Amino acid sequence: MTDLGYDEELRSERSYVAGLYARLDAERARVKGALKDALAGEGRTAMERDDEVRALGKELKRLHVADGGLCFGRLDSLDDETSYIGRIGLFDEKNDYRPVLLDWRAPAARPFYVATAVTPENMRRRRQFHTRGRRLVDFTDEVFGRPGGGERGDAALLAAVNAPRGEGMRDIVSTIQAEQDEIIRLDHPGVLVIEGGPGTGKTVVALHRVAYLLYTHRERMERHGVLVVGPNPAFLNHIGRVLPSLGESDVVFMTPGDLLPGLRVTAEDAEETARLKGSLKILDVLKAAIADRQRVPGQPVPIQLGEVTARIDAETAEWAREEARASGLPHNEARAVFVDIVTYVLTERAISRIGRGWLSREDRDEWERLRSGLVKDLAADEKFTATIDGLWPILTPEGLLADLYTSPGAHPALSRVDGDAWTVSDVPLLDELYTMLGRDKAADRAAEQAAERERTAKAEYAAGVMDGLVKREDSMDDEDHLFAHDLLYAEDLAERFVEADTRDLAERAAADREWTYRHVVVDEAQELSEMDWRALMRRCPSRSFTVVGDLAQRRAAAGARSWGTMLEPYVPGRWVYRSLSVNYRTPAEIMDVAAALLAEFAPGVKPPESVRACGVRPWARRVTEAELPAAIEEFVRDEADRPGTSIVIGPPGVPGTVPASETKGLEFDAVLVVEPERILADGPRGSAELYVALTRATQRLGVLHQGPLPSVLAGLHSE
């Protein structure tokens, strides 16, 4: 293509992209108008209006996020058909709704990501756009199938990976590579495991897969939403913009410690404790703790029924306990069985004494009449209730677990002074106990009655407001009267006060422990324990998961050593494994250093291959304890004058540093690792920590060390 030809093509493409933005603006104006009309709500109930407002609001969000990088490429087929690819789909309503812009998730857009010179997918050319705001700056062409013609698909990709890092992860819709696209579009109904070393893009691939699933199965998925689980809040904040930038908002982001709404994690477990809590062996401990609180009396307990005394003895309580346990109901719900048996025994004994000499069992009506009265008496008897509470108490997960941890006979690894100083490892145990214990039906009834009283009060208030408006209308002129009458209806007002829940799906799901999701993404999944997996599986009955991780980076004592061990019990034969082998983040100079460490602690794991070099050698400098603070300050000061992001990573207790565990999944232009010898001293876990630290950098890596430089870091350039 001549320069003149390129310039003419560029003007033509700019005109086309400008036309797409004009369509986007027109569609946005149309939706805004429809949203305004829906908010007015004429001729609709409040529920209908809220549904329409929510749907139009989501559509408006979708149109807003499409503003940045609306169109990022074009495909020309061997049949001389041209398709433009972008964030969303746009159509020509005047021409049979012909697509003028293909959504990147549409099947017809797939060749944009997978076509190569060897397998061109019936394509002649792929054109990739480089835009700034709404302006098309330039484009790059790849022509497939030319004799001697090579692929030139690296331009957009290398520009993206070399660009300075911002505050959050960016989407990759314009630079998805073939191996990534295959995973994104994989239509597997069970669990998909995506494993890859640092920089392979496994997290962003998983998020784009969610966007693809929401696009292709929207009706099925959007009613329940998607849960994304990440290792820490910094990581979730880092990735939290990707899905909204792709127009998807029905997504809940949580750490494993957030799975129970309202619970605050304030402490950290020792390694041995975390290992025990994460193991399925802890289930026996929890079951035993519950069983230990299902008791029989040491001495018979007398209960006064009218003029006679009946006793709850060990034999009665043992029978009731056996029946309650045999019911298969959770502890709190099985209490009703226990109470029924004890009540039956006490009333039978009391009736036989009350009716001695004049009442026989053949007189069933009178017998049952007496029983009914005695049952009511027992229900109101404080001593009976207190006795039942002692033998089969209503238990809460928090109360039981705190009591278990602080009891004198607690397992040494579980014992602690502050029973409710919750750790991340406690969360799946508490979640398990919610299932084991079940609901407190009496408390549920009381809460529902209170809610009903509140709804009634609100409805009465709404009726009162309406009555006041009606009286006011009597004194208005016709114009004001019509305005007030059109604005408010009594039924509509009552619905707004009583029924309306204006929270979006993500807000409602995050606040509801029993919410179930259509799909769950688990990042840094190698850190999750067996108990963590039980908690997550409860939240997705369909067992539709995208699991992202790297076993070589595992640091959690109870984490995964193999994917099959964790997944096979829940999805036998329904999980598939895919790996990513290309490192798009870490330059070759840095990856060579990290690969030497990987070979030391995980010799069977092959490091990912970097697609680029940055031309900057990673360095190491030995400093004294007195020199260390100034050396860290120097790094921070130098990096502040450069574009992009930087971080200082070090062992716990070193001022000005962040532990490697808090940087998992994150990336920075420059990284300074402080005292690697102390990080390595933490054993196998320390090696994984250092591997994570070394592979966070996209451009520059430096190391400061006080002791001798560990031999596995010999590849660093000494300063």
Terminal Cα distance for the chain, rounded: 48
How far is residue 421 CA from its own chain's centroid? 24
What residues are paired with 254 via a beta bridge? 229
C-alpha to C-alpha distances, 102 to 90, 283, 492, nearest whole angstrom: 7, 51, 41
Give the separation between CA 538 and CA 540, rounded to whole angstroms: 6
Task: Kindly give the interhelix angle for 282-292 and 426-437, rounded to the nearest 10 degrees.
Answer: 50
- CB 431 within 8 Å of CB 538: yes
Q: What is the dihedral of CA 226, 230, 236, 242, to 10 degrees?
A: -50
User: Helix %, strand %, coil % for the chain, to 5?
Assistant: 50, 15, 35
Closest of 620, 588, 583 to residue 717, by C-alpha: 620
Structure tokens at 431: 């979640």
Strand order in the sheet with 717-718: 646-649, 668-674, 697-705, 619-622, 717-718
Structure tokens at 412: 């040494």
In what helix (H) or strand (E) does residue 495 lie, and over which residues does it extend? helix 490-498
- CB 573 within 8 Å of CB 585: no
- CB 664 within 8 Å of CB 232: yes
Is there a binding annotation on residue 199? yes
Is there a binding annotation on residue 197? yes
Structure tokens at 257: 């410690």
Is there a binding annotation on residue 202? yes
Is there a binding annotation on residue 198? yes
Structure tokens at 268: 């950290």
Give the separation between CA 5 and CA 413, rounded to whole angstroms: 74
Q: Are strands 301-305 and 123-132 parallel, antiparallel or unpaired?
A: unpaired
If you compute the radius of gyration of the chain from its CA atoms, what whole number of angstroms results? 33
Give the separation between CA 476 and CA 458, rounded to whole angstroms: 27
Q: Are strands 251-254 and 717-718 parallel, antiparallel or unpaired?
A: unpaired
How far is residue 382 CA from its own chain's centroid? 46
Q: Annotated binding site for ATP: which residue ranges?
A: 196-203
Q: Annotated binding site: which residue ranges?
A: 196-203
